[in-house]
Amino acid sequence: MAALNPAAAPSLAGVLDPIIPRVAAWMAQRGDALSLAQGMVHWAPPEGVDEALIAALRQARANPDRPDGLHRYGPGAGDPELVEAISRCLVDHHQLDLSASDVWISAGSNMAFQLVVRAICDPGDAVIVPLPWYFNHAMAIQLAGAEPVGVAAGLVPDPERLAAAITPRTRAIVTVSPGNPSGVVMPQPVLAAIGALCARHGLFHLSDEAYALFRHAAEPHWSPGRTSGSGAHTVTFQTFSKAYGMAGWRLGYAAVPQQLCPALRKLQDTVLIAPSRPVQRAGLAALAAGPAWCQPRIASLDPARRQLQELPRQLQNQGLEARWLGRLDGAFYGLLEVAGPWAGEALVRRLLLDFGVATLPGESFGLATQPGRAVLRLSYGMLQGEALQQALQRLRQGLVRLAQE
């Protein structure tokens, strides 16, 4: 009898397909491709991270029976030393009011987001996500059986338009500032208005601040969790992946309203049990280096940002209409709109395989395809100097040639 292979649950078919693995496969195929796609930075973590990790491992080897040893499961929310250091950083550096919040550490802030969404949503619930969205947010909401409601409210979302999308099913509103994919930094009054909207309607404000330290212009970063008393409805997500160059370490965290902790305890215990203890030691050392260590590295992105800012003018000189959607004020991304017959994944694939430069399609961030116009997300976190110039040259060449097809 032919084997009837059991299949994945049908509900997974309704979850967005991740674009990154497809782009990675094309990168591997092309071999010499340069990446303006990857959401990572060019620097390694603080040196103290290596030393702290080695010292902790030596200590664990010398004291194998210690109950707080590195090789044993730790507390679900995270090791108290790191929870304490993160809380201090959130209060001292970001001025958060944590009086109604607890810090939960996880294997990256994506995982924290997933757990929080699962903690607040039942199947059939809805979460408002201003467009363009960060695709993993939409996917996490779908995985919880809820609906990500993409709202075209502007790159700096208009709170009134978000308010108009609230229904009895709505559980939360998401903001990402500084923005991925737009690079836009949302002004304080807008974030405060969205926070107030959430408070008024009994919704959670899910504030993804992965790029909190990445500000390149006058607009300062502002955390909605700074508003006094906002901790009862605000979840602040941050990560070691970006500013500390630790994407591969998988270490992120969330400041979470205390009333969610019983639910989170169940979720964390089932999914991760507890965050990795060696990695938390590394995180502690990274925080000891602190935002002051990150600042000059973040400033080192400025020449790349300036080169990208020139791109629309250069394309226009070559006869191609182009512009940035929004100012490149934060994170290390921007959305480039260009005229031409190609768009979406087909354009990204051609640029990568035929011209050797990786980008991401605007469509993967929930943007609708517009006839005769393409939107690409470009990242300037990884490439510098010659390599960046080469990547931008390939991009210009590819866009100009493909526009003629």
Please report, as ranges, the residues that interact with ligand PLP according to CB under 6 A. Answer: 39, 108-110, 134, 176, 180, 208, 210, 239, 241, 247, 252
Tokens of 317: 């000189």
State the nearest-atom distance from the C-beta of 179 to ligand PLP, in Å.
8
Whole-number minimum distance, CB 148 to ligand PLP, in Å? 14
Instruction: Identify the sign of the CA torsion 346, 349, 354, 358.
Output: positive
CA dist., res. 381 & res. 305, Å (int): 9
Reading the block at residue 284, the tokens are 């502690």
CB of 365 to ligand PLP, least distance (A): 10
Among residues 208 and 329, whose Cβ is nearest to ligand PLP?
Answer: 208
Which tokens in the block code for residue 53?
A: 């990790």
Give how far Cα 300 sits from Cα of 167, 181, 182, 220, Å: 44, 20, 20, 18
Kindly tell me which of 134 and 324 has the beta carbon lying closer to ligand PLP.
134
Q: How far is the CB of 92 from ligand PLP (least distance, A)?
A: 21
* Cβ-based burial of 360 (10 A; exposed 0-12, middle 13-18, buried ≥19): buried
CB-nearer residue toward ligand PLP: 159 or 252 = 252
Q: Which is nearer to ligand PLP, 60 or 208 (CB)?
A: 208
CA atoms in the 13 A half-sphere facing the CB of 262? 1
Q: Least distance (Å) from ligand PLP to the CB of residue 62? A: 32
The Cα 256–Cα 264 span in angstroms is 9
Smallest separation, CB 181 to ligand PLP (Å)? 8
Q: Please say which residue, 108 or 257, places its beta carbon nearer to ligand PLP.
A: 108
Residue 39: CB minimum distance to ligand PLP, A: 4
Count CB atoms within 10 A of the CB of residue 20.
14
What does the DSSP assignment read for 89-116?
A: HHHHTT----TTEEEEEESSHHHHHHHH
Instruction: Quote the tokens at residue 135.
Output: 């695709």
Q: Whose CB is nearest to ligand PLP? A: 108
Which CB, 362 or 398, lies closer to ligand PLP? 362
Please list the residues that pair with 339 across neighbouring strands. 373
Q: Tell me how crowded residue 66 is: count the other CB atoms within 10 A of its CB.
A: 12
| Residue placing its CB nearer to ligand PLP in the complex, 274 or 331 | 331
First to last CA, the chain: 52
Q: CB-wise, 238 or 320, nearer to ligand PLP?
A: 238
To ligand PLP, the closest distance from the beta carbon of 9 in angstroms equals 24
User: Is the bond leading into 178 cis (omega within 30 degrees of zero)?
Assistant: yes
| Residues 205/235, Cβ–Cβ less than 8 Å | yes
DSSP-derived 3-state class of residue 330: strand
Phi-psi region of 372 (alpha: psi -120 to 50; beta: other; left: phi over 0): left
136: which 2 tokens?
């993993």
Q: Which is nearer to ligand PLP, 322 or 348 (CB)?
A: 348
Min separation Cβ 176 and ligand PLP, Å: 5
Name which of 183 and 312 has its Cβ closer to ligand PLP: 183
Cis peptide leading into residue 168 (ω within 30°): no
Could you count the other beta carbons within 10 Å of the beta carbon of residue 60?
18
Q: Least distance (Å) from ligand PLP to the CB of residue 48?
A: 20
